[in-house]
Amino acid sequence: MAQKIRVICDSTCDIPSDLLSKHHIRVVPCFVNYDGNSFADDGVQLKREEYYRQLPHIRPVPKTSAFPPGLVEPVVEEALKEADHVVILSVPAKLSGVYNAFRLGSSNFPQEKITLIDSGQVAMGLGWQVIIAAETAEATGDVAAVKDAVQRVRNNQRLYAALDTLEYLRHSGRVGWASASLGSLLQIKPILDVREGEVKSHSRVRTFKRAFEELVKLAHEQAPLDRLAVMHADNAKGAQELKDALKDIAPSDTLIVNITPTIGTHIGPGGLGFASVSKSWRN
């Protein structure tokens, strides 16, 4: 018997608001903390363009934090009023306390109605898992089918990002190799590879132009593509140029996303990247 399934995720997912509405996806906002205040990353308390303009001048550098479990409970409760089952997808537990907040915040509900998944991904890497989970839920009403689709997406997706500076990643303290790196002193542009909950250094180049060319090459290696999102941190011009450079492989519904401040705080202004899902996930 088909079930009605709703999907919940955290605000690092970066899914555009029209797609959230289309698929009835609920989002619990993370927080960005600076100047003695804590701001919900909900697009209301923090406006992306305004935040990125301020970021280079905010000292000390902002920190990010997970939401408390108490914010999760009403969201799950509301979802279960209109659905038989809730699937929750989270930014990696290795990088954030969000997964644990979801676990604690959903613990008072019947556990047979809750599926909590560590996505192993961030930004639209997480976002594509969430969207395809919601699409599969709508098409099948089958929790097992949703879990299977998410795993297949996870096995066939990539997220790469080129940073303009290592400064912000070093300040975050979330990535050990960045803290030890001399990249910012040498003006090296790192290209990050996010996979299985870990942020790794894929390569390092001397100029952002070379980093751009490497992103184009990496994207082509994933073709043919089923989904593509070009992501940037207040670098709309670069994002459009990257999308244009990928027009021969880009799906018609390719997204350009100015990444959420929760992620952008660790990336820094000017960052550029993509999150792709190859067509092989459907096999």
CATH of the domain at 199: 3.30.1180.10
Q: pLDDT value at position 177?
A: 44
Domain assignment present for residue 52? The answer is: no
Dihedral class, residue 126 (left if φ above 0, else alpha if ψ from -120 to 50, else beta): alpha
Kindly give, in sequence order, each residue whose CB lies less than 8 Å from that of residue 245, ignoring residues fewer than 6 positions away: 212, 216
What's the one-letter identity of residue 272?
A: L
Q: pLDDT value at position 179?
A: 47
Q: pLDDT value at position 198?
A: 86
Domain assignment present for residue 60? The answer is: no
Question: CA 64 to CA 100: how far, in whole Å?
Answer: 15
What's the one-letter identity of residue 217?
A: K
Residue ending a domain, among 155, 179, 207, is 155
**Contact between residue 263 and residue 12 where contact means Cβ atoms under 8 Å apart:** yes
Q: In angstroms, how far is the first alpha carbon of the chain from the final one?
A: 25
Calculate the alpha carbon distances from 87 to 8, 44, 137 in Å.
Answer: 6, 25, 9
Tokens representing residue 93 in the block = 């537990």
* Residue 149 shares a structural domain with residue 248: no
Domain assignment present for residue 106? The answer is: yes
Q: pLDDT value at position 173?
A: 55
Domain assignment present for residue 47? The answer is: no
* Residue 132 shares a structural domain with residue 191: no
Print the domain residue range for 131: 5-30+66-155
* Residue 151 shares a structural domain with residue 242: no
* Residue 102 shares a structural domain with residue 164: no
Q: pLDDT value at position 168?
A: 74
**Contact between residue 156 and residue 148 where contact means Cβ atoms under 8 Å apart:** no
Q: pLDDT value at position 165?
A: 78
Which stretches does DSSP call E strand in the chain?
A: 5-10, 26-28, 31-34, 37-40, 63-65, 85-90, 114-118, 157-162, 189-195, 198-205, 225-232, 255-258, 272-278
Q: pLDDT value at position 204?
A: 76
Residue ending a domain, among 125, 155, 185, is 155
Question: CA 187 to CA 205: how far, in whole Å?
Answer: 9
In tens digits, the chain (283 residues) has pLDDT values of 789 999 999 999 999 999 999 999 999 999 999 999 999 999 999 999 999 999 999 999 899 999 999 999 999 999 999 999 999 999 999 999 999 999 999 999 999 999 999 999 999 999 999 999 999 999 999 999 999 999 999 999 999 999 987 777 666 555 454 444 554 445 678 889 998 988 887 777 778 899 999 999 999 999 999 999 999 999 999 999 999 999 999 999 999 999 999 999 988 899 999 999 999 999 8
Domain assignment present for residue 38? The answer is: no
* Residue 76 shares a structural domain with residue 168: no
